[in-house]
Chain A
């Protein structure tokens, strides 16, 4: 997503910085902490959950409970190019299911998975709010609108080379 890759040490230091801000604040700071932790790591693996739980003085179960409840939080890493297909109502009636089928077909993986080389992942999302451009997909932060399935291979090829 255009972000530079951090080393594990840098990520850990960044996380400590975030945690020191919320230290001991308990449950009410949990969502904000997790959002910032996910921004650093891209997802929320168990060691990160443990550190968050310790810093906020809540149980790991509590932390895991919140992560698994909200779809914004991810327990799995995403691909370098995260593709999300909008399956909101406006996009759906304009054929976004066919876009999703085509992307699965081209990449050979299913919705929710990551390609073996870690380059792409697919997820379906509910409305990115660009209903005027329906049907819409996003690759990282780039938005592609008014698409038909035959445009999909070209779009994916662009990111393969990069």
Chain B
């Protein structure tokens, strides 16, 4: 085996690939031999490092130097300076931020980005080449499965270990994982067909941790599914993954093939007599398929309509057989629990929520990316320490968690320690881990409407509370944001919301009203402002916003009048300041875009 003095890690997750990291990888592979370094330096493509806002990211070991927003043109310099002469390319080492004033909240806080994190589920993401099984094995990979199978551990003892660890489902519901396994573990050794499934249908817009794990560390999921299968005596597994994630699908397939080659999937694994194999099933873009019964109908090739529970999947699941279904991040924790022990895992986190949780931090925050924190970390620490605060000096307004099923956490609750129960108490939920930061310019009524539009679209239509209720709520919100709403509409919203919560068949409908209920709870004044004062303080709702030109600032250049598609702007070049006829104005924003003096404003 060759020994290399340096390793160049290039992030090839979806975010960095979108900004050309494949080209960067290619450049390194050309430039390194060009300098005669091919025997000394190894280039590795890895999964996501987490700091997506600064991508494409390149890390060079042993120094651990991180280069941000690298372009293919920068590669020659990195190779010639850093790899050949040992001089760092300092201009690429400082994170770059969008917006005018970024300098003050950069470097110091960016080390916080990694310092406050604890990477368990993401332990290998960005450290290993996901397309090479040997690298996973070198990082304790398949050790947990190996121990269990070669020592012929009692499946019930393994399940007990998972129960003791306190691990709860990371897909949103938070059901104890070990209990799920226990329910499906009956009648072992009697030749009953059972299945182990993985939910990789990450439908929550803004959440991308499952994709990153599959792209960066696919073997951890395969290993965990094999362990689950051993515990309940199943021999076939399915990973249900979104077709929209081509890189993750490709890497998972490569990983499955390699595991088969190594005898870690297939017949008689580790000579133990235990057999297990795994196949991929592609989803086709239906949010409701994140719901477990709908997901299984989809694997069966049917429309993804949820079915009533009970019977629970542990009794009657896929093809009517007992089935375990867990989420990607949940599985990624399993090998660590087996290797380090339930006690270690349970020592991290809060009383009822153990371990860590991965969040996809996005929206109006400086360090957009993937972060993994111990349960109990406060929202403030995530947004301001890890996230580096709000760009452009704007004020924080809220953070949204749980996607279309979740809610908004206002500034007054910034010090809430994050765990399953605290988030529910705050009117939101853990969800799969999307965390979108909103600043003073985000209108909360508009955000509620945005989520409702989503659920109207994604409601499967099977049960009427959800099918009709989401549509009615969307109509009410449209009325309010158009400026024709009344106070009675707000009451009606609340009433429909509660019937949806109580009457819907599955979690999609039961939680669809959460974005409304939580914004009503914390930002009711904004709703009232929309209907009583006919005002949107963020100037987002077009029906409630008026464009005007500040005559003090206007330089009388006429550009806005020329760009106006409906001739609503009049004035005289160099003489009379321009003004907008609001009865003609269609609020397209062309004048704002084109005014060089920022004289066009909204009120």
Which residues of A does B touch, CB under 8 Å? Answer: 26-32, 34-35, 65-66, 69-73, 87-90, 92-94, 98, 101, 105, 125-134, 136, 143, 145-146, 149-150
Report the nearest A residue to B50, measured CB to CB.
Answer: A132
B575 within 8 A of A: no
Given contact pairs A89-B363, A89-B434, A94-B364, A131 touches B18 in the complex (Cβ within 8 A): no
CB-based contact B284/A132 at 8 Å: no
Return chain A residues, CB-CB under 8 Å to B442.
93
Given contact pairs A70-B285, A90-B362, A130 touches B368 in the complex (Cβ within 8 A): no
CB-based contact A28/B205 at 8 Å: no
Contact count band on B: 35 or more
Given contact pairs A69-B286, A89-B362, A90-B363, A29 touches B301 in the complex (Cβ within 8 A): yes
Given contacts A90-B206, A126-B454, A149-B593, 18 further A-B contacts (CB under 8 A): A26-B301, A28-B301, A30-B302, A34-B284, A65-B303, A89-B205, A89-B451, A90-B362, A90-B363, A93-B363, A93-B364, A94-B364, A127-B205, A131-B15, A131-B208, A131-B368, A132-B362, A133-B18
CB contacts between A and B, total, < 8 Å = 132
Per a CB cutoff under 8 Å, which of B14, B243, B302, B363 touches A72?
B243
Per a CB cutoff under 8 Å, which of B298, B363, B589 touches A31?
B298
Q: Which 7 A-B pairs have the closest CB atoms?
A: A132-B52, A88-B205, A90-B362, A70-B284, A72-B284, A143-B18, A72-B285
Return chain B residues, CB-CB under 8 Å to A149.
589, 593
CB-based contact B460/A89 at 8 Å: no
CB-based contact B304/A132 at 8 Å: no
Return chain A residues, CB-CB under 8 Å to B588.
101, 105
Return chain A residues, CB-CB under 8 Å to B436.
89-90, 93
Docked Cα-Cα span, A150 to B594, in Å, equals 9
Per a CB cutoff under 8 Å, which of A73, A126, A146, A150 touches B205?
A126
Given contact pairs A71-B285, A73-B284, A128 touches B364 in the complex (Cβ within 8 A): no
CB-based contact A150/B593 at 8 Å: yes
Return chain A residues, CB-CB under 8 Å to B360.
90, 131
CB-based contact B243/A35 at 8 Å: yes
Return chain B residues, CB-CB under 8 Å to A73.
284
Return chain B residues, CB-CB under 8 Å to A26.
301
CB-based contact A126/B363 at 8 Å: no
18 contacts between A and B (CB under 8 A): A28-B299, A32-B281, A35-B243, A69-B303, A70-B284, A71-B285, A72-B284, A87-B205, A90-B363, A90-B434, A94-B363, A126-B287, A129-B245, A131-B206, A131-B362, A132-B52, A134-B368, A145-B19
Return chain A residues, CB-CB under 8 Å to B454.
126
Interface string of B288-324 (1 = CB under 8 A from A): 0000000000111111100000000000000000000
Given contact pairs A93-B364, A132-B369, A127 touches B206 in the complex (Cβ within 8 A): yes
B122 within 8 A of A: no
Interface string of B89-117 (1 = CB under 8 A from A): 00000000010000000000000000000
CB-based contact A134/B362 at 8 Å: yes
B203 within 8 A of A: yes
